[in-house]
Amino acid sequence: MSYLDVTKDVYKKAAETPDVGLCCTTSPIWQLPGLDMPSIMLEMNYGCGTTVNPRDLVNDPTILYVGVGGGMEVLQFSYFSRKKHGVIGVDIVDEMLDACQKNLTVASETNDWFKEEFVDLRKGTAMSLPIESNSIDVAAQNCLFNIFEKEDLKKALQEIYRVLKPHGRLVLSDPICEQEMPDHLRADDKLRALCLSGSLPLQEYLDMITEVGFGTVEVRAKRPYRILSPNHYDVKENIMIESVEVAAIKDPMPEDGPCIFTGKAAIYYGKEDQFDDKKGHVLLQNQPIAVCDKTAGDLGSLGNDDIHITESTWFYDGGGCC
Ligand SMILES: C[S@@+](CC[C@H](N)C(=O)[O-])C[C@H]1O[C@@H](n2cnc3c(N)ncnc32)[C@H](O)[C@@H]1O
């Protein structure tokens, strides 16, 4: 049985019997006016953060959600799109698609604004999406891609890139791990399926995202996720797993490499009104401006003693220039 089959089996069971706490983390569940979240969807929240952000959802987007789970985020996305087939949900597990459909029916009974036709559920795998090329504005996945081995992860990212329109975006939430994950845990298909041993270090994940072509990347949040401790796992020391929220935008790749925002800011505090690096970045006196890591590096390498570059906060919230 391949690890992908073990994964299907894990989520078949999680579809048939809700496994509260299977994933989930410290991020709050969206509360929105007029949105009544069925308790079954909360019990089947198998994500590790959120991928739903109103600022991604302007201009009547068509949304793809890969790995639907109990449908909580599918419903949240529908809240913003509110049109027939505005959200396409894809999952490989029949039982999960059935559970999601059933939960959406429950949601339609207590949410006047919601119609089941808003969601188009399709069977398919992340590695070969049943979706037309260049047709999606916002693609989301929560706590699925970390399960994939690197070759499959690459295929899944390439698939998302293929189906997105130019300037469309992938929004994701996934575990990451900066420590060396022991090989025997990586090779444990069940742990991998449970989102506990497949995760990569953040930089490696970001490299894979930009290697498929995404020209702009935002690291929006980073949170503690799980500890694999010797008390419960076959490890010599605690292994800390975090979860990240990332948006990857299908912008053209800049000649000097991708713009990756990790929450750095530059502040000019010299004697002039502003500092102009003549490369498109104007820093106004004592006003922080969000910069991507590349620009932060370029500004830092000027060696000016009147420009302060902050560390990455890993909480990038838009704005700034690169
Ligand atoms: C950890 S759960 C996350 C569910 C949901 N995103 C959430 O946040 O609650 C992973 C989901 O991906 C689905 N899945 C597993 N393997 C898949 C694959 N190869 N392609 C698409 N979906 C898959 C599972 O059935 C399950 O719904």
Within 92-210, strands assigned E span 119-123, 136-142, 164-176
Expressed in angstroms and rounded, the spacing between residue 142 Cα and the centre of ligand 1 is 8
User: Residues with beta carbon inside 6 Å of ligand 1?
Assistant: 4, 7, 11, 23, 45-47, 66-69, 72-73, 90-93, 96, 125-126, 142-144, 195
Cβ atoms 7, 29 nearer than 8 A:
no
User: What is the residue with the minimal CA distance to atom 4 of ligand 1?
Assistant: 69
Q: What is the C-alpha to C-alpha distance for residues 295 and 309, in angstroms, rounded to an integer?
A: 10
Q: What is the C-alpha to C-alpha distance for residues 114 and 79, in angstroms, rounded to an integer?
A: 7
Q: What is the C-alpha to C-alpha distance for residues 252 and 250, in angstroms, rounded to an integer?
A: 6
Atom of ligand 1 nearest to the CA of 67: 12
* Local confidence pLDDT in tens for the 322 residues of the chain: 999 999 999 999 999 998 777 766 666 677 899 999 999 999 999 999 999 999 999 999 999 999 999 999 999 999 999 999 999 999 999 999 999 999 999 999 999 999 999 999 999 999 999 999 999 999 999 999 999 999 999 999 999 999 999 999 999 999 999 999 999 999 999 999 999 999 999 999 999 999 999 999 999 999 999 999 999 999 999 999 999 999 999 999 999 999 999 999 999 999 999 999 999 899 999 999 999 999 999 999 999 999 999 999 999 987 765 5
Q: Which helix (H) or strand (E) holds 7?
A: helix 3-16
